[in-house]
Each structure stands twice: as structure tokens, then as C-alpha cells.
Amino acid sequence: MANVYLVPPKGVHPVNVRFSFSGLKKGETLSILFDRALSIDGHPLPLPPISLRVVELVKNSQPTKL
């Protein structure tokens, strides 16, 4: 699902994202990239990836909000 939010200078807008971690194994590390998700005047913001490491597997877990 794609949405565009216009935020005024120094403004904020909360955004919820969901990911399915199905298929990941304990000890794996994944990176979430938002570098093309946020832009100013059509120019992507140079954001570093968010890294997550799987430390515990939970059966029948629901998608995680970040």
C-alpha cells in the first residue's frame, strides 16, 4: 500500500509499518531500508538502514509493528 503524506516544515506525522518475519531463523540479521521511502522535494533522504537480529522464534506470532 502506498500513501503520500505532506508534512509542513518542522512538522511530524506518525507512520505505522508492518513486516512479516516468517521464514527467518534464529541468529539471522535483517536490514530495513527507508532511504527511498522518505523524500524532500522529490529527493530521497539518506537514511541508514535499521538492523534487527532474530534472537527468539515464537510460533504463531503476528506481524510486528515497527
3-state secondary structure of 64: strand
pLDDT in tens, 19-44: 787 888 889 998 988 888 888 888 88
3-state secondary structure 10-61: CCCCCCCCEECCCCCCCCCEEEECCCCCCEECCEECCCCCEEEECCCCCCCC
Q: Quote the pLDDT of residue 62.
A: 60
| pLDDT at residue 63 tops 60 | no
pLDDT of residue 28: 92
Residues 6+ apart with CB under 8 A from 38: 44, 45, 47
The predicted model scores a pTM of 0.55
Identify the pLDDT of residue 5: 79
